[in-house]
């Protein structure tokens, strides 16, 4: 979960999804697995969160959250250290899983950048 650094929840560090029932959410649209995870967490917590905006642009979400318009459920892979948002860890169990699949042709000659990206994806904690 991400919030504005000025949001009262920002200092908590972790939160239960149930505690976000009164918050306004800005989310990725249905083309992203995030919407499935959001719906799963909503059902699990037995809440109906207020979804105020959906987009396919992660940067727009991070910008709106940074300005305090709402909060968002984003995977760690979508965040950068320099993003002006506060990160909250969800304490709910079970946690939604975000799986990434990497496919490339075995006979394709990879550039250095492509090799670095593959190594990054292969890291266990990515």
Kindly tell me the burial class for residue 98, based on how many C-beta atoms sit within 10 Å of its own C-beta (0-12, 13-18, 19 or more): middle
pLDDT tens-digit readout, 1-60: 999 999 999 998 899 999 999 999 999 998 888 888 899 999 999 999 999 999 999 999
State the burial class of residue 63 (Cβ atoms within 10 Å of its Cβ: 0-12, 13-18, 19+): middle
What domains sit in the chain, N to C, each tagged with a CATH number?
Answer: 2-90 (3.40.190.10)
The mean pLDDT value for 87-114 works out to: 84
Span 119-125, average pLDDT: 75
Triad 86, 87, 88: Cα angle to 5°: 120
């Amino acid at each position: 979960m991400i919030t504005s650094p000025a949001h009262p929840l920002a200092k908590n560090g972790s939160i239960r999804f149930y505690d976000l029932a009164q918050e306004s959410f800005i989310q990725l649209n249905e083309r992203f697995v995030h919407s499935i995870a959001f719906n799963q967490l909503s059902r699990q917590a037995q809440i109906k969160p207020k979804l105020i905006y959906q987009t396919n642009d992660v940067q727009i979400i991070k910008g709106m959250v940074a300005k305090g318009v709402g909060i968002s459920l984003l995977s760690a892979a979508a965040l950068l250290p320099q993003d002006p948002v506060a990160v909250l860890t969800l304490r709910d169990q079970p946690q939604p899983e975000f799986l990434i699949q990497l496919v490339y042709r075995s006979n394709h000659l990879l550039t250095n950048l492509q090799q670095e990206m593959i190594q990054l994806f292969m890291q266990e904690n990515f």
